Chains A and B, each alone.
Chain A
Amino acid sequence: MWLFLVRRLVNYLVLIVVATTCAYLLAASALSPRVNYENQSPRPTEAAVDARLDELNLNDKTPLAERWVVWAGDVVTGDFGKTVTGASVNDEIEIRVLVSLRLIIAGVVIGASLGVAIGAYAAVKQYGLFDHLSTGAAFTVLAVPAVVVAITLQVAAIWVNDVAGEQMLVFNGEATPGLDAGFFGTLWDRMKHMFLPTMALALSQFAVFSRYQRNMMLDVLGSDFVRTARAKGLTRRAALLKHALRTALIPTVTYFTFTFGVMMAGTTFTEKVYNWKGMGSWLIDSIATNDVHAVAAVSCFMAVCVMAAAFLSDVLYAWLDPRVRVS
């Protein structure tokens, strides 16, 4: 067992190394940090720029392979290098991962639970009014791009604020800068900031999960074991909850785990629209600012998240489904 675990982890490690290296090589050859200095006024001398770039290991005059060796040597020790402005990439990751987590945990959990509940109920009431309404809602959200959803929510928030006569919902950043309102005041302030981006995320998750859960549920609704449960004397409701839903949840839970991993660095639009400094927006920002090391770091982080999520969802599947567990 342990041997297989090790083999599998080594496999993942290789994949992560390959992905990150590719990302670094691509970023280092396509992005040009030199441009950042050339646009400054007064324009620094070439020698000064070279010196600065050498210091950051970003000088395009150094051969790519040489830069890579230096960078990779640092990465192995756990140092992802410096950003174009000279700050530590590691510090930035630490801050941004927490931001992303705060955003995603609430959004995905709320969206997925809502989606599961609505999808399962819609399946039970197949072709009923509830089913039609939830299907319509889910497909509407799926059809509209994330940006449009986010901006529509903003427009709605402005209207709510107008009606309320005060700033109920905030859609810029994750906290009011320099606010000093004690623990509960700060918490309330953060909640106000969180509401809209969380909603935006939850909506799209609800759409996906409700469709998925509805299909899973439909698969088991007519199954023999639900009929057996009712033949034992369970009411329809009890049989559906205890036998049908429990079985239909297995694929959803593993899908949820996977989604979570992918989302860690994948909520770019939401972060950009609501001006949250998370991992997703960092990728866009760092490409725009020719920040080679940040791009490589985000790519590495994405790879780790996807692999971890894939592994976790496999483990979870084996844990939840005894048919897989004992072979």
Chain B
Amino acid sequence: MTETITRTGADEPGAAETGAPVLEIEDLHVTFPGRGKSPDVRAVRGVGYSVRRGEILGIVGESGSGKSVSSMAAMGLLPDSARITGSIRLHGEELLGLDDKAMSAKRGSRISMVFQDPLSGLTPVYTVGDQIVEAIRVHNPKMPKDKAAARAVELLELVGIPNAAHRFKSFPHEFSGGMRQRVMIAIAIANDPDVIICDEPTTALDVTIQAQILEVLKAAQRETGAAIVMITHDLGVVAGLVDRMLVMYAGRPVEVGAVDDVYYRTRMPYTMGLLGSVPRLDTDERAPLVPIRGNPPSLSDLPPGCPFAPRCPIATAECDQGEPELLEIGGQGHTAACIRAPEIDREGWTAADVYPVPEAAPPPEAQVRREDRETVLQVDGLVKHHPLMKGAVFKRRVGTVYAVDGVGFDIAEGETLGLVGESGCGKSTTLMEILSLERPQGGTVDLLGRRSGTMNARERFAVRRDVQVVFQDPMSSLDPRMLVFDVVAEPLRTHGLPKDRLRARVHELLDLVGLDPAHAGRYPQEFSGGQRQRIGIARALALEPRLLVLDEPVSALDVSIQAGVINLLDELKARLGLSYLFVAHDLSVVRHIADRVAVMYLGRIVEIGAVDRIFRDPAHPYTQALLSAIPIPDPEKERNRSHIVLQGDLPSPADPPSGCRFRPRCPKFAGLSEAERTPCIEVSPDLEATGGDDHTAACHYAQGRSVV
């Protein structure tokens, strides 16, 4: 394996076996000139790194840290208006300043790129085969078409597209997101490049698909021997994959080094904060996360000193004097841009020493047993089927999408149920069905003792008061033309709060979610993503609901911001005695916040139980695979874990397999004998107790297994 060879002292000139660097970037600056009166945006300010053949370099940072812009500069794909200075050398040849024609000859042949969103990355009107052939032939115009096509099929096989010769003629929309990302990788490696830049290649994908794609990337690297630059915000993905890493903040690298050094001997407070704010899958105790306070600085108006100083808990007056240089600390090419790094090194400080740990919320309702608490939400056998339509010229119904197909769970007062599953498993549909208060197509929904579909208008109005929702995207769920005051006051007005008490209540709510009440007169777009989500929470809390439905409330936020919102939700629950229905695809977040977890697959719940039980000892093979696929931000642990990589994609909910729906992808099913398989094929398993607690799993061969 190439990774193991290159892991030793990759930055040392003495590492002869890795040879000369393939890609070298030095003192790169990228500035986007402001239009009209707006100031210039200094997106990248002095980035430098080099990668050798077979090496994997990770670039980590939050949105706006300049990690993507610097790699787009290396590809020569920035808009003409961008001012780029510094040096980008490929095999020693300077790329900056090459014209489009010369650069095009390098792009895709010597240096190639895999982008974030595979759904929009392929031209919708050409077949995937044609698009790969195009990538081959643009650099080898003399290669005959049939040879290029044969090579394309070969590439499709390499990236794991089943039945490649046939799928060659498919259009992109006929492929799932994971399959399309495989095609993107096939295009990237089509001409045996020396460097592959991967820009958040798995961010848009589900976690089981992410595990597949990471495997494909490793295979592609073995095949081509290329250097890989892995850009990501996910500290888990980097941990097990890369040799060296570079942490970026506000357009500059702030800590660089071998992956173990950066994780275990962190010397820059920002990196510490980043690591501390990630909810962990592998820790049992539920300590509050360590958020980094404040927001990243605006790249058009940077503070004079260290850009992190305003958010840094150990900043001193000296930090504002000037921007610190990247200086070697602790040897082995480990550098950090912090004037207090030597001090941190000497004292051996960790995140816990640097960041004030927020007070743990008192355990809510812990005294009363679950059975004795009131049930806030009871769902039984909920069904939601959509008609499946086909055709553009002639619309007609061709089938049924079994979006939600018999889902049941309950939430007790003061409890958080995490509803998890991959996209398309029906978790959002379940949520919308509950919120609609209409009579479901099948099954029952009881909210606070009232049955959906049997209420009259006034009763529905009353129930809505007690059940509020927080949406996923804080950018689009707030009306941009309403003042924050009006956003929060709207539910209060609707439910008839007297005018004279309105102002006091809104200010109280803003204060409750950690916003300055003086900002009530601003518009939502003046706030950052995390602050907007807090506004959304304030709006949801306005009517003092008893159940809060949270639809992926933190998935659109950066980790350092996300930690603050999670802590807020934890604290609000304890203070106000709320119950949460928390829908998420990020299991680490769920482990942190939920009391109970329900895992959904293809419109059914496959496992449900107490959070610790499910994470420690999952019984359903799907839950096991899901948990196993999540990378842990701990390089040592991550390297020693063996991931269960599921085969294939989620089947279409319009055509679920017979019997157990997880059967075609189930690793356990694959190992069963013919006779043992019969129940899986014929009988759809019900949720059955696995022994102890109220933990149930829907598997004929349920068996606990630790995978984290």
A243 / chain B contacts, CB cutoff of 8 Å: 123
Interface string of A260-287 (1 = CB under 8 A from B): 0000000000000000000000000000
Are the C-beta atoms of B135 and A321 separated by less than 8 Å?
Answer: no
Knowing A5-B394, A314-B392, say if A227 contacts B77 (CB, 8 Å). yes
Q: 16 interchain pairs (CB within 8 A)?
A: A8-B394, A224-B117, A225-B123, A227-B115, A228-B115, A228-B122, A228-B123, A229-B134, A231-B112, A232-B138, A233-B109, A233-B138, A235-B101, A246-B125, A318-B393, A323-B124
B139 / chain A contacts, CB cutoff of 8 Å: 233
A318 / chain B contacts, CB cutoff of 8 Å: 392-393
Are the C-beta atoms of A314 and B101 separated by less than 8 Å?
Answer: no
The reply to whether the CB of A69 lies closer than 8 angstroms to some CB of chain B is no
Interface string of B103-140 (1 = CB under 8 A from A): 01111110011010100111111000000001100110
Across the two chains, which residue of chain A brings its CB closest to B183?
A228
The reply to whether the CB of A48 lies closer than 8 angstroms to some CB of chain B is no
The reply to whether the CB of A320 lies closer than 8 angstroms to some CB of chain B is yes
B190 / chain A contacts, CB cutoff of 8 Å: 232
- 6 A-B pairs with the lowest CB-CB distances in the bound complex, closest first: A233-B108, A4-B394, A324-B392, A224-B120, A232-B135, A232-B108
Within 8 A of A (CB), among B378-433: 389-394, 396
Across the two chains, which residue of chain A brings its CB closest to B79?
A222
The reply to whether the CB of A223 lies closer than 8 angstroms to some CB of chain B is yes
Interface range for B: 35 or more
Please report the C-alpha to C-alpha distance between residue A161 and residue B391 in the assembled complex, in whole angstroms. 55
Are the C-beta atoms of B187 and A228 separated by less than 8 Å?
Answer: yes
Are the C-beta atoms of A228 and B184 separated by less than 8 Å?
Answer: yes
Across the two chains, which residue of chain B brings its CB closest to A237?
B100
The reply to whether the CB of A156 lies closer than 8 angstroms to some CB of chain B is no
The reply to whether the CB of B377 lies closer than 8 angstroms to some CB of chain A is no
The reply to whether the CB of A163 lies closer than 8 angstroms to some CB of chain B is no
Are the C-beta atoms of B125 and A247 separated by less than 8 Å?
Answer: yes
Are the C-beta atoms of B392 and A317 separated by less than 8 Å?
Answer: yes
Across the two chains, which residue of chain B brings its CB closest to A311?
B393
Are the C-beta atoms of A233 and B101 separated by less than 8 Å?
Answer: no
A223 / chain B contacts, CB cutoff of 8 Å: 120
Within 8 A of A (CB), among B349-380: none
Are the C-beta atoms of A224 and B100 separated by less than 8 Å?
Answer: no
A250 / chain B contacts, CB cutoff of 8 Å: 125
B124 / chain A contacts, CB cutoff of 8 Å: 225, 247, 321-323
Closest approach, in angstroms, between the C-beta of A231 and any C-beta of chain B? Answer: 5
The reply to whether the CB of A326 lies closer than 8 angstroms to some CB of chain B is yes
Known: A228-B122, A318-B392. 18 other contacts (CB 8 A): A4-B393, A225-B123, A227-B121, A229-B123, A230-B107, A231-B75, A231-B108, A231-B113, A232-B135, A233-B104, A233-B105, A233-B109, A233-B191, A243-B123, A315-B393, A321-B392, A322-B173, A327-B392
B105 / chain A contacts, CB cutoff of 8 Å: 233
Are the C-beta atoms of B77 and A231 separated by less than 8 Å?
Answer: yes
The reply to whether the CB of B174 lies closer than 8 angstroms to some CB of chain A is yes
Knowing A225-B124, A228-B121, A322-B173, say if A235 contacts B104 (CB, 8 Å). yes
Across the two chains, which residue of chain A brings its CB closest to B139?
A233
The reply to whether the CB of A288 lies closer than 8 angstroms to some CB of chain B is no
The reply to whether the CB of A325 lies closer than 8 angstroms to some CB of chain B is yes
Knowing A247-B123, A247-B125, A322-B124, say if A232 contacts B392 (CB, 8 Å). no
Are the C-beta atoms of A327 and B391 separated by less than 8 Å?
Answer: yes
Are the C-beta atoms of A322 and B171 separated by less than 8 Å?
Answer: yes
The reply to whether the CB of A1 lies closer than 8 angstroms to some CB of chain B is yes
Name B174's contact: one of A1, A235, A246, A326 (CB within 8 Å).
A326
The reply to whether the CB of A236 lies closer than 8 angstroms to some CB of chain B is yes
Within 8 A of B (CB), among A1-26: 1, 4-5, 8
Across the two chains, which residue of chain B brings its CB closest to A324?
B392
The reply to whether the CB of A51 lies closer than 8 angstroms to some CB of chain B is no
Are the C-beta atoms of A224 and B115 separated by less than 8 Å?
Answer: yes
The reply to whether the CB of A187 lies closer than 8 angstroms to some CB of chain B is no
Please report the C-alpha to C-alpha distance between residue A232 and residue B188 in the assembled complex, in whole angstroms. 7
Are the C-beta atoms of A231 and B394 separated by less than 8 Å?
Answer: no
A4 / chain B contacts, CB cutoff of 8 Å: 391, 393-394, 396
A324 / chain B contacts, CB cutoff of 8 Å: 392
The reply to whether the CB of A241 lies closer than 8 angstroms to some CB of chain B is no
Q: Which of A231, A314, A324 has the most CB of B within 10 A?
A: A231
Closest approach, in angstroms, between the C-beta of B687 and any C-beta of chain A? Answer: 35
Please report the C-alpha to C-alpha distance between residue A237 and residue B104 in the assembled complex, in whole angstroms. 11
B100 / chain A contacts, CB cutoff of 8 Å: 235-237
Interface set of A (CB-CB < 8 Å, partner B):
1, 4-5, 8, 223-225, 227-238, 243, 246-247, 250, 311, 314-315, 317-318, 320-327
Q: Which of B75, B107, B123, B396 has the most CB of A within 10 A?
A: B123
Across the two chains, which residue of chain A brings its CB closest to B173?
A323
Within 8 A of A (CB), among B541-597: none
Please report the C-alpha to C-alpha distance between residue A315 and residue B108 in the assembled complex, in whole angstroms. 37
B122 / chain A contacts, CB cutoff of 8 Å: 225, 228
Please report the C-alpha to C-alpha distance between residue A33 and residue B603 in the assembled complex, in whole angstroms. 70
Please report the C-alpha to C-alpha distance between residue A237 and residue B372 in the assembled complex, in whole angstroms. 70
Across the two chains, which residue of chain A brings its CB closest to B102?
A235
Closest approach, in angstroms, between the C-beta of A327 and any C-beta of chain B? Answer: 4
Closest approach, in angstroms, between the C-beta of B400 and any C-beta of chain A? Answer: 15
Closest approach, in angstroms, between the C-beta of B398 and any C-beta of chain A? Answer: 8
Across the two chains, which residue of chain B brings its CB closest to A316?
B393
Across the two chains, which residue of chain A brings its CB closest to B120?
A224
A314 / chain B contacts, CB cutoff of 8 Å: 392-393
A327 / chain B contacts, CB cutoff of 8 Å: 389-392
Q: Which of B104, B134, B135, B393 has the most CB of A within 10 A?
A: B393
A1 / chain B contacts, CB cutoff of 8 Å: 394
Closest approach, in angstroms, between the C-beta of A30 and any C-beta of chain B? Answer: 38
Interface string of B133-177 (1 = CB under 8 A from A): 011001100000000000000000000000000000001011000
Across the two chains, which residue of chain B brings its CB closest to A127?
B35
Closest approach, in angstroms, between the C-beta of A225 and any C-beta of chain B? Answer: 4
Please report the C-alpha to C-alpha distance between residue A325 and residue B124 in the assembled complex, in whole angstroms. 12
Across the two chains, which residue of chain A brings its CB closest to B124?
A323
Are the C-beta atoms of A323 and B107 separated by less than 8 Å?
Answer: no
Across the two chains, which residue of chain B brings its CB closest to A231?
B113
A237 / chain B contacts, CB cutoff of 8 Å: 100
Please report the C-alpha to C-alpha distance between residue A235 and residue B107 in the assembled complex, in whole angstroms. 9
Are the C-beta atoms of B123 and A232 separated by less than 8 Å?
Answer: no
Please report the C-alpha to C-alpha distance between residue A232 and residue B133 in the assembled complex, in whole angstroms. 10
Across the two chains, which residue of chain A brings its CB closest to B114?
A231
Knowing A232-B135, A235-B104, A323-B171, say if A225 contacts B120 (CB, 8 Å). yes
A8 / chain B contacts, CB cutoff of 8 Å: 393-394
Are the C-beta atoms of A231 and B120 separated by less than 8 Å?
Answer: no
Knowing A223-B120, A225-B120, A250-B125, say if A234 contacts B138 (CB, 8 Å). yes
Are the C-beta atoms of B392 and A320 separated by less than 8 Å?
Answer: no
Closest approach, in angstroms, between the C-beta of A118 and any C-beta of chain B? Answer: 21
Please report the C-alpha to C-alpha distance between residue A233 and residue B106 in the assembled complex, in whole angstroms. 7
Are the C-beta atoms of B393 and A231 separated by less than 8 Å?
Answer: no
Are the C-beta atoms of B134 and A232 separated by less than 8 Å?
Answer: yes
A228 / chain B contacts, CB cutoff of 8 Å: 115, 121-123, 184, 187
Across the two chains, which residue of chain A brings its CB closest to B134?
A232
A238 / chain B contacts, CB cutoff of 8 Å: 138
Are the C-beta atoms of A320 and B120 separated by less than 8 Å?
Answer: no
Please report the C-alpha to C-alpha distance between residue A243 and residue B130 in the assembled complex, in whole angstroms. 12
Q: Which of B112, B390, B392 has the most CB of A within 10 A?
A: B392
Are the C-beta atoms of A225 and B121 separated by less than 8 Å?
Answer: yes
Across the two chains, which residue of chain A brings its CB closest to B104?
A235
Within 8 A of A (CB), among B190-218: 190-191
Please report the C-alpha to C-alpha distance between residue A60 and residue B191 in the assembled complex, in whole angstroms. 82
Please report the C-alpha to C-alpha distance between residue A5 and residue B113 in the assembled complex, in whole angstroms. 46
Please report the C-alpha to C-alpha distance between residue A311 and residue B393 in the assembled complex, in whole angstroms. 8
Closest approach, in angstroms, between the C-beta of B194 and any C-beta of chain A? Answer: 14
B171 / chain A contacts, CB cutoff of 8 Å: 322-323, 326
B113 / chain A contacts, CB cutoff of 8 Å: 231
Closest approach, in angstroms, between the C-beta of A34 and any C-beta of chain B? Answer: 47
Please report the C-alpha to C-alpha distance between residue A236 and residue B174 in the assembled complex, in whole angstroms. 27
Please report the C-alpha to C-alpha distance between residue A32 and residue B671 in the assembled complex, in whole angstroms. 89
Knowing A233-B104, A234-B104, A324-B392, say if A224 contacts B121 (CB, 8 Å). yes
